[in-house]
Structures are given as C-alpha cells and as structure tokens.
Structure 1
Amino acid sequence: MKKVAVFGNTGGGKSTLSKRLSEITGLPLHALDKIKYQSGGTEVPHEDYKRAHQKILETDRWIIDGFGCIETVWLRLNEADSLVFVDLPLCVHFWWVTKRAIAGYFKPPEGWPQKSPILKSSINSYRVLWLCHKYLTPRYREYIKQAQSTKSVYHIRSTQQISQFFELIENDASVEDSSPT
C-alpha cells in the first residue's frame, strides 16, 4: 500500500478515514478539496488543480482523498495500487452530510479548506448525493470489480466495515513494522 485512492459519494466519512489511514501508514495525505478550493471556498483555476493533482500522482507514496473532477478521478484510480471505495447506504451519506452541516458551524469539516461556506457547500452536497448515487456509484462499482485482479480493493459498504478496515490495516502495519529489514 503506497498509492491509495479513497473515493465514494459525499458525506461518507472519506476525509476522516483518510486522515486516520495516513496516521496508521505514514503515507502523505492529499485532500482534494483543499487542492481544488482556496480558503473561503473559491475554486482554483481548473488547469492549476490538474497540475497539482498530476504532481501528486507522480510521487511514490500518497493517499488521495476525494473526487476532484471527473477528468482526474479515473487517472487517480488507475495510478493507485490500493482503492478504498466508501459505498455506504444512501441514507447514511445523507445523514452524515446533515451532521457535517450542523457540526461545521462549530468546527470546520475534516478535509475542507479554511473558512469554507458551510451552508452553500452542504446544499451542494445534498444535490451531489443523488447524482453520484445514480450515475457515478455504479461506475465505481464496476471499476473496482475489474480492478480486484490487479489492485488491493477495500469496498466499504457499512459503518461496521469502517472499523474492520482499520483493524485490518493496523494488523498489516504491525506485521510490516516487525518484519526484518
């Protein structure tokens, strides 16, 4: 596990998962929302975002959290050696977007740029929820089905599987730490 793409519908806890995964593995974390948006929520020029994304892909080790844009998501998934697809029931995504919207007024959401417009971003997340579920999630499911023969694939379908995923990763990390050098 050296190049990890964490992806899925909005509000699935990808940023929190990615942060913890980075802490466990020591891999550098790149939150795409912080690359694609400036403080205050202003989008960076598209070409600047694509250049920054490409520079990350060219490095040897990374965790990339988020969507970015349709143009870069497939590049990232192809380049990754490990895929973490957060595919929770739609109602869980919806509830977690709601919780994030409420909590965001007290503490900025994990993986979001400073001073992000919480209300505007949350309304957009509700719109994206259904569109992603209807159009992109089926494509993600098909992609990971094909990728299982060449990559490590973690398809997280329930909140319980998030805990199981970390147990698996922590056990793998301790095995790697104890192996002779």
Structure 2
Amino acid sequence: MIRIAIIGSGGSGKSTLARKMGDKLNLEVWHLDRLLWKPNWQLTTREEQREIQNELIAKDKWIIDGNYTRTLDIRLNAADTILFLDISKVICVTRVVKRMIKFRNSTRPDMNEGCNEKIDLRFIKWVWKFPKTQRPYILTKLEQLSTNKEIIVLKSPKEIQRFLDNL
C-alpha cells in the first residue's frame, strides 16, 4: 500500500482520509482539487490534467485523492490500492453544505488558493445524483481492473474509521 488512489463523491471524506492516511503511512498526499483548479475556479484543460497526474504517478509512493472521472484511468491503473468511499448521498450533501458554510469566502485546505468556497447548487445537485450517475461507472471501472490491485470499498464513516484504526 504505497500508491493509493482515493475516489468517491464530493463530501464522502476523500481529502480527510487522504490526510490521515498520509500521516499514518508517511506518504505524500496530493489533492487533485488543489492541483487541477486555477484561481477563480478555472479548471485546467484535460491535457493539463493528464500531464499533472502523469507526473504524480511517476513518483514511487503517493496518495492521490479526487474523482475526476475523465482521467480516472490514469490513477486506477497506476495505484496498487484503490479506496472507493461509497457513502450515502445524504451524508455527502450534508457535508458539502457544511463545508460551503464553514469555508464561505475563504479557501479550504485541500483547494487551490483563489478558489473561495461558495454556495454552489449545481455541485450539490451533482453530489445528490452521484449514486445514479457516477457510481455505476466507477464500479464498472473497478471490476475491470487486474486482480493484483487491492480494492477497498468503504460504505460509512464508521467503516472509514475502522479502516484507519487498523492501518
């Protein structure tokens, strides 16, 4: 467990888990939100996203958190361990709203400077629809991976905590 990809809906706890795992395992953590968003919420081009992620996976050891389904294969193919946080949409939306309120008009720790948190109804709707729109795609991708990868699906905050406790 030295090349770890953490995926899941917004609000599922990817960044928090990545930080905690990085501390426990002494691995460098890379938050894709911090790397792929430019100030004022300008998303990097798909080509830039691929370049950035190819540089990250070239490293010997890492934890990368983020969904970004258009470049998901880069991380999944390079990882030896994949954690899919398959958390209830109610929990995820609640967490996203709390995060938007807590960091409103400031930048949260896992985000690039200049991307101040704001109430974003489009993102909230995306998180709510994630189980129907994104989850099936992710599960199909995980099924297609080679058997030499450890794939861990965590379905609740308690399961995440137990996983961390057992690291």
Match of 1:134 among 122, 132, 135: 132
Mapping for residues 89-104 of structure 1, pairs under 5 Å: 89-104=88-103
TM (normalized to structure 2)?
0.89
**8 Å contact from structure 2 (residues 104, 118) kept in 1:** no
Shift of 1:31: 0.7
Q: Percent identity?
A: 23
1:76 is matched with 75
**8 Å contact from structure 1 (residues 147, 153) kept in 2:** no
**8 Å contact from structure 1 (residues 16, 110) kept in 2:** no
Gaps of 5+ in 2: none
**Alpha-carbon separation, structure 1, partners of 2:53 and 2:122:** 23
1:52 is matched with 52
**Structure (1/2) with the larger helix percentage:** 1
- Which deviates more from structure 2 when the two are superposed, residues 142-151 or residues 125-134? 142-151
**8 Å contact from structure 2 (residues 104, 116) kept in 1:** no
2:116 is matched with 117
**8 Å contact from structure 1 (residues 38, 44) kept in 2:** yes
Shift of 1:118: 1.8
Equivalent position SS for 1:40? helix
Pairs aligned (count)? 167
**8 Å contact from structure 1 (residues 39, 113) kept in 2:** yes
Taking only aligned residues, the RMSD between alpha carbons, in angstroms, comes to: 2.0
Matched, 1:35 2:35: yes
**Alpha-carbon separation, structure 1, partners of 2:144 and 2:42:** 36
- Amino acid paired to 1:82: T
**Alpha-carbon separation, structure 1, partners of 2:142 and 2:105:** 36
Instruction: Indicate how the Cα distance of structure 1 residues 168 and 142 shifts in structure 2: closer, same or farther if over 3 A, else same.
Output: farther
Instruction: Please identify the structure whose Cα radius of gyration is greater.
Output: 1
**Alpha-carbon separation, structure 2, partners of 1:167 and 1:130:** 29
Equivalent position SS for 1:118? coil
**Alpha-carbon separation, structure 2, partners of 1:107 and 1:23:** 25
Runs of 4+ in 1 over 6 A off after TM superposition: none
Deviations 1:63-112 (A, max 9, x none): 111023x3310221121100111111111111111111111127633411
- Amino acid paired to 1:74: D
Deviations 1:22-63 (A, max 9, x none): 111111111111111123322223322211111111221111
**8 Å contact from structure 2 (residues 6, 83) kept in 1:** yes
1:172 is matched with none
